[in-house]
Structure 1
């Protein structure tokens, strides 16, 4: 579902009214006509569409991130997927005040970059990498990855952009148990299914003690998380679209 097919950002338009519009064949902003709803709501819809068209033409994802309710942020995905940054971090533990970020992987387009502590993992590299992202995509990134990155690299403003944290839409679909379990549930196979977050910590310390092979395994593990995020996002957004749109509506 693209943002142009949504009407819920408009004050006075909830899911019920939006479905009513869809059932009338109004499945895109271009299809809207004032007679479909009351005059006040029609004025609000037309005003929103006029503004939103300009913002979409400018690629202003921040505008839509502000307009769409939190539970509907997944609707931004299809419109801004080309400019999305899928990201994941590994750390030495769970406490952002005392533990350190060891690797950060970011996938944009068809390219995945991985930055490693004491090599190229710096605030400047992260700012440069996230600078042009229209949309952030993570799994539990709002509660874990973003606070860690902010604490460790002082990225004020850099990560303040629309953020699709897949953990929450996954829960709406009863996909639970962590990213690796969800990958299994949607049919994704891992190259190293035996590795876990605890292994990531161990691999880092093995590397610190001279095991060069350990950092290669850690980087591969972190990159696989990010590469699979895009597949999970595609599947989740498709399922949410199917569960949101009435059966008799054609988009």
Structure 2
């Protein structure tokens, strides 16, 4: 919806943008095509509007998402999402804790809408910097408070891409309760991963490290991938809800595509075994390999 947006122009607020739409000026193209457009503003404000829209056309052609991110509030970043989808990465991390000095990233997934790439501590985490550098936009859930600061601290990366944090966009639409809560309200099922959360991911990593149990790592990655690929669905859902509140819902709504198959599957027996050990107060790090064979 970026080409229908005018509030990024300094001095143009919601009310003036709505007035432009009401006058039939629904897009940059319509505004610039009329040599004497009828505007709800006059004088210097009108000439500045046209000048900024001329600049916006050029910046969009150049793929300069930072220009628009610098002029829009984060709550409106959804408007440029479709125009930069091909340069967008969905990102989620798993860690050993909530950020104490000894905590580190255990696994993370990057999804670009087509392909899935996983990175694991002690294996290929060094490759993450090159991968994430390919993208101009990052989409997370609560990444502003957790994922991005964690990556900056633990991996020493700038992580300076334009950042769309769905936690705040969804909260503004009335969707709260964390990532899983938002998924449930929007009809996204976790199937065999139902009930697995970030704390459980810590237990899975502990099982993998203590006992080199490959099923624990595969289950952890399956969980991390689900967290990541579901961000695309949430992003599109949020975008469509937002667009439905504008005059452009019929023409600008995005299709929801099914997520790609995960390269890893969760071990439900292992999940249940860890859950039972935790419930009964036993050490979740004890080996599960003999009892699950």
TM-score, normalization by structure 1: 0.93
Is the 1:141–1:165 contact (alpha carbons within 8 Å) kept by the matching residues of 2? yes
Structure 1 residues 75-224: aligned runs within 5 Å = 75-95=79-99, 97-122=101-126, 125-156=127-158, 159-191=159-191, 192-210=193-211, 211-224=213-226
CA distance in 2, matches of 1:121, 1:247: 42
CA distance in 2, matches of 1:53, 1:248: 22
Q: SS where residue 59 of structure 1 aligns?
A: coil
Q: SS where residue 234 of structure 2 aligns?
A: helix
Give the deviation of 1:96 after TM superposition.
5.1
Give the deviation of 1:150 after TM superposition.
0.3
Unaligned runs of 5+ in 1: none
CA distance in 1, matches of 2:23, 2:14: 14
Runs of 4+ in 1 over 2 A off after TM superposition: 246-251
The answer for the alignment partner of 1:23 in structure 2 is 22
Structure whose CA Rg is larger: 2
CA distance in 1, matches of 2:123, 2:177: 33
Deviation string 1:156-206 (CA, Å, 9 cap, x unpaired) is: 2xx212111000010111000001110111111113112111110000000
Give the deviation of 1:131 after TM superposition.
1.4
Is the 1:83–1:109 contact (alpha carbons within 8 Å) kept by the matching residues of 2? no
Higher RCO (C-alpha 8 Å, min separation 6) = 1
Q: SS where residue 86 of structure 1 aligns?
A: strand
Give the deviation of 1:35 after TM superposition.
2.7
CA distance in 1, matches of 2:42, 2:249: 24
Give the deviation of 1:108 after TM superposition.
1.0
CA distance in 2, matches of 1:198, 1:21: 49
- Is residue 41 of structure 1 aligned with residue 41 of structure 2? no
CA distance in 2, matches of 1:27, 1:98: 53
CA distance in 2, matches of 1:145, 1:247: 33
CA distance in 1, matches of 2:203, 2:250: 51
Change (3 A) 1:250 1:126: closer
Q: SS where residue 209 of structure 1 aligns?
A: helix
TM-score, normalization by structure 2: 0.80
Unaligned runs of 5+ in 2: 253-293
Give the deviation of 1:68 after TM superposition.
1.1
Give the deviation of 1:81 after TM superposition.
1.3
RMSD across aligned positions (CA): 1.7
